[in-house]
């Protein structure tokens, strides 16, 4: 370790009041200098998603002290905006992970010490309900203690603005400056929880908020086809040990779905996520138990949410009796087409409607939106950019938001929430299933109809892990090499467009012209080919990985699968070639 890292380590080991659990963990690492170096080499990164990392001691881990320092930074930011911001306060929620409740109380105690009002949930809460709560109680900001679908050894600190959306890059930079000014993380002041409650600075958000949320959601509902009493929609639901059990079971009941089976082994919160290798509904293994239940019950639909309830995974019944796990793009296409078709049927589809999606989300959404006369606007990867666009269009009136989604199973239907919302998506997916079943179709049949109408779109995601101290350098090297060697052809197809989001340029290869991109600058490259295929390469914002997104359009499922495999193989080889 360098002397600078050793200084941080020395500070922690000599701090008299160090949390006993963290001290024991430090003692256990004495003979592991490499891990100690990683724990103290640098402060944990803080960006637009807040901070996320492994639990443990040190300035590069999530723990009591790094949470206090982040909270102190937010407190200084709120205080800088004056008494009105302090009185509006901060709403705080937490998920089912290790120490989430503890960290939420610590954040509240630090904010309260600064005289800032805090609205703290009294139970586990899905992230979208925090977004709703910020707007509902008129808070100046919000915090969720969560690491989303990361492994159980992770946790995080996610910050929201007054609009209920994730903070923007400019706000993240300001918060980071305030965090640095807060000083030594071991000496951040915090008030007593009970004293804050007695003073009125710490208030409780109870179950009434969920009821208000569900009432707002039901008011946005398009009445679905009436279910047949003899053949009702049968649903299997799993919260994957996370936060959505109460919200989704109550929501489905309020929406009239009575034949709902919950996967009992995954119903209770479990910070170790003991029945899955990963609590990520994008992955097929997360559906193993749910599919067993569905086969037994003859279910029409399987719904699975990630631990903090912002991502929804869906599996549907195949005509041969098995269950097919849909991609986020396929679920998004089914939801989008259902919503737009029902709005048009009821006369509720606005002329200036807009669909928001990310640059790595399927082009099928654009084709569907266009068919209904709607515009599609792309954003950078990350739902914070979709939320930001929603706010922009709300102010200007240029577009009326209809649907937002990203390929990683994130969907938003009703704009009283400003982040991806698995509760909304689950309830409206049930409605879509009921509609199609009443028409004599399964959701799988409906997906095949969309393919036949709009084209056989198929996408995939591949990640290249770049671990260790050299991981960041390796990721930067891959992107730098791609920029230094302009690509003109791949997998037998010509490159027609190159979008460099770091340079902020869109280059039309065929015309030889260059135009400016209007996105915030980020390290990503996207290539469009002459057969409408595309691929995008970017570093992950939350993990030490390079992410490769690939998309194709075919005239049949078989052709699309072949095109996808060929392009994925060619690009994978390109990234590994020095």
Closest CA to 519 of 499, 540, 497, 501: 501
| Interatomic CA distance for residues 130 and 198, integer angstroms | 24
pLDDT at 1 over 50: no
| Interatomic CA distance for residues 417 and 213, integer angstroms | 9
Please indicate whether residue 453 or residue 34 has the higher confidence score (pLDDT).
453
pLDDT by residue (tens digit) across 515-538? 999 999 999 999 999 999 999 999
* Half-sphere exposure in the Cβ direction for 115 (13 Å, CA): 8
At 224 the pLDDT is: 63
How sure is the predictor about 546, in pLDDT bands with cuts at 50, 70 and 90? confident
Give the 3-state secondary structure of 134-155.
Answer: HHHHCCCEEEEECCCCCCCCEE
Q: Residue 25 is inside which H or E element, if any? A: helix 20-28
At 20 the pLDDT is: 96
Residues noted as catalytic = 148
Q: Where are the beta strands (DSSP E) in 146-243?
A: 154-160, 202-205, 235-238
Percentage, residues of the chain above pLDDT 70: 96
How many residues does this entry show for the chain? Answer: 578
Mean pLDDT of the chain: 94
At 421 the pLDDT is: 98
- pLDDT (mean) for 531-559: 89
Closest CA to 22 of 58, 53, 60: 58
pLDDT by residue (tens digit) across 399-444? 999 999 999 999 999 999 999 999 999 999 999 999 999 999 999 9
In a 3-state reduction of DSSP, which class is residue 537? strand
At 467 the pLDDT is: 62
Tokens of 471: 């991981």
pLDDT by residue (tens digit) across 170-223? 899 999 999 999 999 999 999 999 999 999 999 999 999 999 999 999 999 987
Percentage, residues of the chain above pLDDT 90: 87
- pLDDT (mean) for 306-330: 96
Query: How big, in percent rounded to 5, are the helix, strand and coil portions of the chain?
Result: 40, 20, 35
What separation in angstroms does the CA of 302 have from each of 272, 334, 336, 352, 405? Answer: 23, 14, 18, 34, 19
Q: Residue 573 is inside which H or E element, if any? A: helix 557-576
pLDDT by residue (tens digit) across 319-369? 988 999 999 999 999 999 999 999 999 999 999 999 999 999 999 999 999
How sure is the predictor about 49, in pLDDT bands with cuts at 50, 70 and 90? confident
In a 3-state reduction of DSSP, which class is residue 238? strand
| Interatomic CA distance for residues 360 and 528, integer angstroms | 12
> Which residues touch 101 (CB under 8 Å, ≥6 apart)?
94, 145
Q: Phi and psi dihedrals of 196, rounded to 5?
A: -65, -40
Burial code (b: 16+ CB inside 10 Å, e: under 16) for 300-336 equals bbbbbbbbbbbbbbbbbbeeeeebbbbbbbbbbbbbb
Total-model pTM: 0.95
121 neighbors 94 (Cβ within 8 angstroms): yes
443 neighbors 315 (Cβ within 8 angstroms): no
Tokens of 173: 């930079």
Question: What are the beta bridge partners of residue 500?
Answer: 505, 525
Tokens of 573: 């080889």
pLDDT by residue (tens digit) across 50-99? 999 999 999 999 999 999 999 999 999 999 999 999 999 999 999 999 99
Give the CA-trace dihedral at 192, 197, 202, 205, to 10 degrees: 130
| Interatomic CA distance for residues 380 and 522, integer angstroms | 8
Tokens of 105: 């109380």
pLDDT at 243 over 60: yes
pLDDT at 311 over 50: yes
The alpha carbon dihedral of 113, 115, 121, 125 has a sign of negative
């Amino acid at each position: 370790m360098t002397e600078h890292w050793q200084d941080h380590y020395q500070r922690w080991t000599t701090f008299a009041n160090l949390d006993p659990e963290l001290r024991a963990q430090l003692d256990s690492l004495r003979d592991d200098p490499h891990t100690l170096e990683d724990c103290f080499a640098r402060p944990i990164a803080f960006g637009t998603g807040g901070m996320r990392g492994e639990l443990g001691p040190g300035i590069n881990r999530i723990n009591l002290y790094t949470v206090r320092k982040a909270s102190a930074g937010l407190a200084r930011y709120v205080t800088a905006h004056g008494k009105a911001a302090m009185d509006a306060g901060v709403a705080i929620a937490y998920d089912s992970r290790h120490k989430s409740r503890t960290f939420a109380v610590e954040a509240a105690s630090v904010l309260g010490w600064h005289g800032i009002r805090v609205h703290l949930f009294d139970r586990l809460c899905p992230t979208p309900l925090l977004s709703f709560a910020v707007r509902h109680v008129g808070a100046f900001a919000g915090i969720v203690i969560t690491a989303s679908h990361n492994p159980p050894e992770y946790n995080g600190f996610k910050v929201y603005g007054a609009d209920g959306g994730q903070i923007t890059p400019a706000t993240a930079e300001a918060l980071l400056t305030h965090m640095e000014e807060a000083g030594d993380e071991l000496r951040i002041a915090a008030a007593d929880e009970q004293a804050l409650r007695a003073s009125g600075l710490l208030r409780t958000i109870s179950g009434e908020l969920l009821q208000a949320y569900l009432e707002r959601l039901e008011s946005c509902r398009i009445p679905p086809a009436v279910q047949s009493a003899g053949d009702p929609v049968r649903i299997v639901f799993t919260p994957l040990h996370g936060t959505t059990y109460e919200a989704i079971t109550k929501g489905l009941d309020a929406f009239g779905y009575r034949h709902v089976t919950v996967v009992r082994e995954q119903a209770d919160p479990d910070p170790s996520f003991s029945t899955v290798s990963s609590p990520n509904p994008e992955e097929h293994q997360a559906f193993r138990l749910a599919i067993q239940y569905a086969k037994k019950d003859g279910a029409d639909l399987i719904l699975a949410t990630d631990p903090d309830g912002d991502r929804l995974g869906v599996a549907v019944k195949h005509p041969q009796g098995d269950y097919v796990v849909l991609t986020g793009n396929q679920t998004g296409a089914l939801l989008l087409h259902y919503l737009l078709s029902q709005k048009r049927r009821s006369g509720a589809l606005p002329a200036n409607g807009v669909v928001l999606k990310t640059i790595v989300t399927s082009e099928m959404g654009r084709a569907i939106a266009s068919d209904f006369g709607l515009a599609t606007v792309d954003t950078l990867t990350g739902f914070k950019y979709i939320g930001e666009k929603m706010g922009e269009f709300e102010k200007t009136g240029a577009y009326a938001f209809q649907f937002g989604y990203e390929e990683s199973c994130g969907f938003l239907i009703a704009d009283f929430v400003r982040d991806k919302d698995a509760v909304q998506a689950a309830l409206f997916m049930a409605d879509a299933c009921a509609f199609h079943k009443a028409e004599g179709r399964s959701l799988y049949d409906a997906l095949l109809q969309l393919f036949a109408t709009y084209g056989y779109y198929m996408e995939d995601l591949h990640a290249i892990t770049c671990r260790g101290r050299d991981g960041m350098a390796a990721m930067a090297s891959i992107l730098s090499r791609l920029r230094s060697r302009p690509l003109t052809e791949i997998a037998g197809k010509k490159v027609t467009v190159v979008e460099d989001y770091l340079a902020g340029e869109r280059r039309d290869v065929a015309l030889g012209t260059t135009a400016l991109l209007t996105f915030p600058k980020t390290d990503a490259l996207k290539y469009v080919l002459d057969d409408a295929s595309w691929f995008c390469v970017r570093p992950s914002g939350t993990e030490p990985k390079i992410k490769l997104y690939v998309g194709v359009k075919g005239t049949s499922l078989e052709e699309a699968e072949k095109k996808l495999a060929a392009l994925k193989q060619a690009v994978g080889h390109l990234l590994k070639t020095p």
